[in-house]
Amino acid sequence: MSHLFSASRRLLLAAGVAALATPLLSTPVLADEPLKIKFTLDWRFEGPAAPFLLAKSKGYFAAEGLDVTIDAGNGSAGAVTRVATGAYEMGFADFNALVEYDAKTPGSKIQAVYMVYNATPAAVFVLKKSGVTKPADLAGKTLAAPIFDAGRKAWPAFAKSNGLAVDAVKWQTVDPAIRETLLARGDVDGITGFYFTSLLNLEARGVKPADILALRYPDFGVELYGNAIIASPKLIVEKPKAVEGFLRAFNKALKETIARPEAAIPTVKERDPLIDVALETRRLKLALESSVVTPEVKQIGLGAVTPERLKRSIAETVEAYALPKVPSAAELFNPAFLPSKADRSL
């Protein structure tokens, strides 16, 4: 009898243990929380921001375990400063602004990790009625631009490449909002600005496309690279997989944007309902055609650089900006986190 009682007791105890264990075994293990990354654009929510917003909207960042917040910017210098101070982990900024920051702030260790604009968008704009047909015709003219404009800062490189003296033109410092208005009214001979921004702004002010001449820097010997994705040294060192994941997600969205620009623009309108969809679609296409899908990119893939050209580009920036030192290419561009060339090929 005692034997039967012991056996029954053992069965009851075993059943109790199993019952207690079952909920523990069936409860799923909680996944790691997504890593939060604050990302700053260089400017407002316009067409060229579409690949970043598309990657977020379609869940590509989330699929990489990233919770990415994308904020508008107020210029490339500001974007670099935001990342340098640790306010943002990553950003989108003119590579030449990074060169300038590093030369003036040695040891910053911020790095570009994906070159989005393979060619600088900088250009000089004139009206055809001015008689200017080539860079040499700019001698003696007055150009208007903000003091921080990339085209104005890189003017010495453009001048050198085209046999002009640096002081061959006079500069009028203006607010970005009135730059194109001054040219449209004929108050200045020309302006500098990003190709896909100033061109559309001139048209918006009533200037016919046939009356505009754009002297794009890359078409006249300037080798400068354009905007790149930059990352803080803390993120690069402590969370390298996050950098890789971000670039995979962005690269996927960029390729989709190149294939179907119109389909990417709605993500921009989600962030700024007041945008003109047709205008921003055209701006995006101009940016892709002039600065992203270049002959070099077709050879080496999206996001990458040519080492020899990168060195020349940095030296060109240092000379044009009159910087105190020449940062090394390895300090400024880190290709280690790029997706495979097959994934970056067009």
Indicate whether 238 and 109 sit together in one domain: yes
Indicate whether 83 and 97 sit together in one domain: yes
Structure tokens at 310: 């990168």
Beta-carbon contacts of 198 under 8 Å, excluding residues fewer than 6 positions away, are: 123, 125, 179, 180, 191, 192, 214
Domain extent, residue 159, equals: 122-220
Indicate whether 115 and 130 sit together in one domain: no
75 confidence band (pLDDT: 50, 70, 90)? very high
Indicate whether 310 and 253 sit together in one domain: yes
Residue 63 maps to a domain: yes
137 burial type by CB count under 10 A (0-12 exposed, 13-18 middle, 19+ buried): middle
When pLDDT is averaged across residues 78-84 and rounded to a whole number, the result is 97
When pLDDT is averaged across residues 316-344 and rounded to a whole number, the result is 97
Boundary of a domain, candidates 220, 238, 266: 220
Boundary of a domain, candidates 203, 220, 237: 220
Please report, as a single letter, which amino acid is at residue 251. N
Residue 14 maps to a domain: no
Indicate whether 216 and 336 sit together in one domain: no
In contact, 57 and 26? CB cutoff 8 Å: no
Residue 15 maps to a domain: no
Please report, as a single letter, which amino acid is at residue 26. S
Among 154, 192, 158, CA closest to 173: 192
CATH number at residue 141: 3.40.190.10
Q: What is the pLDDT of residues 219-259, one digit of tens each?
A: 999 999 999 999 999 999 999 999 999 999 999 999 999 99
Radius of gyration of the chain (CA): 26
Q: Degrees (nearest 5) of the Cα angle 230, 77, 87? A: 60
3-state secondary structure of 93: strand
Indicate whether 89 and 141 sit together in one domain: no
When pLDDT is averaged across residues 114-141 and rounded to a whole number, the result is 98
Boundary of a domain, candidates 201, 220, 239: 220
Rounded to the nearest integer, the mean pLDDT of the chain is 92
Indicate whether 209 and 89 sit together in one domain: no
pLDDT for res 169? 98
Lowest mean pLDDT among 6-15, 126-135, 188-197: 6-15
3-state secondary structure of 70: strand
Indicate whether 111 and 134 sit together in one domain: no
Residue 16 maps to a domain: no
Number of domains in the chain: 2
In contact, 305 and 115? CB cutoff 8 Å: yes
Indicate whether 103 and 131 sit together in one domain: no
Please report, as a single letter, which amino acid is at residue 273. P
pLDDT for res 18? 40
When pLDDT is averaged across residues 296-304 and rounded to a whole number, the result is 98
Residue 25 maps to a domain: no
pLDDT for res 32? 76
Q: How far apart are CA 63 and CA 154, in angstroms?
A: 39
Indicate whether 111 and 234 sit together in one domain: yes
pLDDT for res 6? 43
- Asked whether the predicted pLDDT for residue 44 surpasses 70, the reply is yes
Q: How far apart are CA 250 and CA 70, in angstroms?
A: 13
Indicate whether 204 and 93 sit together in one domain: no
Indicate whether 152 and 198 sit together in one domain: yes
Please report, as a single letter, which amino acid is at residue 170. K
pLDDT for res 2? 42
Full-model pTM = 0.89
pLDDT for res 7? 42
Residue 177 maps to a domain: yes
